[in-house]
Structure 1
């Protein structure tokens, strides 16, 4: 029984840490995606200057 509880606690902690990190990374990945899209728009304007 102690072995089962130890396994549950260890796996639960690992799942909690992984979930926390995924949520934090998701927000940062969204911001990074927006920045890359914005950079693409700027690069497109530079590549095709309006005369």
Structure 2
């Protein structure tokens, strides 16, 4: 969630309340992604999917 949140905050002009509303749907949405690629070192640093 931190990677998603930091990415959204850096690339979109959403308010904090808008980000908080959207993030409720992120776990469910990620589970529905057919192909999910995760980049990580010691921590997850990015992801993409289709």
TM-score bracket for the superposition, by shorter chain length? 0.3 to 0.5
Question: Of Structure 1 and Structure 2, which has the larger fraction of its residues in helix?
Answer: 1
TM-score, normalised with respect to structure 1: 0.32
The structure having more radius of gyration, on CA atoms, is 1
Q: Determine which structure has greater relative contact order: mean sequence separation of CA pairs < 8 Å that are 6+ residues apart, divided by chain length.
A: 2
TM-score, normalised with respect to structure 2: 0.32
Question: Of Structure 1 and Structure 2, which has the larger fraction of its residues in strand?
Answer: 2
